[in-house]
Structure 1
Amino acid sequence: MPFPFFKSLQSFAGLALFVLHISLKSRFNVTLLTLSPKSTFFLS
């Protein structure tokens, strides 16, 4: 397995995980925002 291919694959997987983490976190914040506005004060 070529090293540059593995490195690009690893960076792509890291980027995908980062985007997934950000989208899940923002969705979680929006859910807390609709439930109770005081909870989002701790997250920010």
Structure 2
Amino acid sequence: LNLKSIIELVIKLPGDSLIIQYGAIERIRSAIFSILLHGLKQ
């Protein structure tokens, strides 16, 4: 899963379930943070 597909997933999330959407965005943001940290270590 690359950054572009992650961003597309965020955009495609249903807007009517905002709580689920924000929860998913938080999980994705922490996942991106972990990926960036992992990439910096290599």
Q: TM-score range by the shorter chain?
A: 0.5 to 0.7
Asked if residue 17 in structure 1 is aligned to residue 24 in structure 2, the reply is yes
SS of equivalent residue, structure 2 residue 21: helix
Percent pairwise identity = 7
Normalised by the size of structure 2, how large is the TM-score? 0.60
Structure 2 unmatched ranges of 5 or more: 1-15
The total of aligned residue pairs comes to: 27
**Which one scores higher on RCO, CA 8 angstroms, separation ≥ 6?**
2
TM-score by length of 1: 0.58
Moved over 2 A (4+): none
Cα drift, residue 25 of structure 1 = 0.3
Note the 1:21-36 alignment, pairs <5 A.
Answer: 21-35=28-42
